[in-house]
């Protein structure tokens, strides 16, 4: 069922402003939606538009990936933990495309769907909010939700973006074979600017990841990893010295 749509004026006024282009704060204090699509999101959109099945956008926020997927002809289930995000998304959808969209409020790992529901799943910048065991549970669920041949696209924060103060502990944990080396608490101690801190005040911790950790999780869920890499987010450049490893992504196939 499509979330109740606000009118476009209400939708625009509900989104809080932020001073860095392409960064749109969420309404629940968990950070930002980034308006610049990375290669993993773009590939999910292409896959969504080319197929005849239904696709899933987990943690869709205001619909930065959902909207172009709808425009490409896809049937999309958009899910977010914040119902107000879904209202804003629904208000943006042109009338001719509204029948292609379903919105479901929910959060991992509790969210669930029938097995074999989706041809492609995008889970972008969500997993780093979960404890390690919940990441494993969630990715295993996503594997079940895919049809045979379906594709899973994961994107997550690394310690090499706005969380650079976590790099030494993360790398030491990797060397020591710690299963989840990116757990950090007291998030404001890691953030670069007061402006960013203002919009990240709800998560009790972060579980920073990299391409290797995402690939491992997919493999353990029974998926075949076809690509895993760091993502150069040039749109982060207003936040200080970065090195092209700001996010990590993985794409894996079922069967």
Q: Is residue 103 situated within a structural domain?
A: yes
CA separation for the pair 233, 31 (Å, rounded) = 16
pLDDT band at 240 (very low <50, low <70, confident <90, very high): low
Q: Is residue 201 situated within a structural domain?
A: no
Q: Report, as an integer, the average pLDDT of 45-54.
A: 96
Q: Is residue 172 situated within a structural domain?
A: no
Question: 129 vs 14, which has greater pLDDT?
Answer: 129
End-to-end Cα, the chain, rounded Å: 30
Q: Lowest-confidence range among 56-65, 127-136, 186-195?
A: 186-195
Q: Lowest-confidence range among 56-65, 210-219, 228-237, 241-250?
A: 228-237
Residue 47 pLDDT: 97
Domain count, the chain: 1
Cα dist. 123→18, 65, 75, 167, 198 in Å?
24, 11, 16, 24, 25
Q: Mind listing the pLDDT tens digit for each residue in 150-201?
A: 999 999 999 998 899 999 999 999 999 999 999 999 988 887 665 565 656 6
Residue 201 pLDDT: 64
Q: Are 231 and 242 in contact (CB under 8 A)?
A: no
Residue 3 pLDDT: 39
Question: 221 vs 26, which has greater pLDDT?
Answer: 221
Percent of the chain with pLDDT over 90: 73
Q: Is residue 38 situated within a structural domain?
A: yes
pTM attached to this predicted model: 0.91
Residue 13 pLDDT: 45
Q: Report, as an integer, the average pLDDT of 70-88.
A: 97
CA separation for the pair 93, 75 (Å, rounded) = 13
pLDDT at 91 over 60: yes
Q: Is residue 198 situated within a structural domain?
A: no
Q: Is residue 165 situated within a structural domain?
A: no
- Count of other CB atoms within 10 angstroms of residue 98: 12
Q: Is residue 185 situated within a structural domain?
A: no
Residue 7 pLDDT: 46
Residue 189 pLDDT: 86
Domain containing residue 14? 8-158+209-254
Q: Is residue 178 situated within a structural domain?
A: no
CATH code: domain of residue 246: 3.40.50.150
pLDDT band at 8 (very low <50, low <70, confident <90, very high): very low
């Amino acid at each position: 069922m499509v979330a109740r749509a606000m009118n476009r004026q209400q939708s625009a006024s509900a989104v809080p402003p932020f001073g860095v282009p392409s960064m749109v704060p969420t309404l629940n204090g968990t950070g930002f939606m980034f308006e610049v699509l990375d290669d993993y999101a773009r590939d999910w959109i292409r896959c969504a538009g080319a197929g005849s099945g239904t696709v899933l956008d987990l943690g869709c926020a205001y619909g930065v990936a959902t909207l172009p997927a709808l425009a490409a002809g896809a049937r999309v289930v958009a899910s977010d933990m914040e119902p107000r995000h879904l209202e804003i998304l629904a208000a943006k959808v042109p009338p001719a495309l509204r029948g292609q969209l379903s919105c479901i409020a929910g959060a991992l790992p509790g969210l669930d769907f029938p097995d074999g529901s989706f041809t492609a799943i995008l889970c972008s910048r969500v997993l780093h909010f979960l404890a390690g065991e919940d990441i494993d549970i969630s990715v295993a669920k996503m594997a079940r939700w895919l049809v045979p041949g379906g594709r899973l696209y994961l994107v997550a924060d690394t310690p090499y973006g706005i969380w650079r103060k976590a790099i030494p502990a993360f790398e030491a944990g990797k060397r020591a074979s710690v299963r989840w080396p990116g757990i950090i608490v007291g998030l404001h101690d890691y953030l670069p600017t007061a402006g960013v801190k203002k919009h990240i005040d709800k998560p009790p911790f972060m579980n920073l990841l990299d391409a290797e950790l995402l690939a491992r999780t997919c493999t353990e869920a029974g998926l075949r990893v076809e690509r895993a890499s760091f993502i150069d987010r040039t749109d982060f450049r207003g936040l200080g010295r970065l090195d092209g490893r700001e996010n990590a992504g993985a794409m894996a196939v079922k069967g």
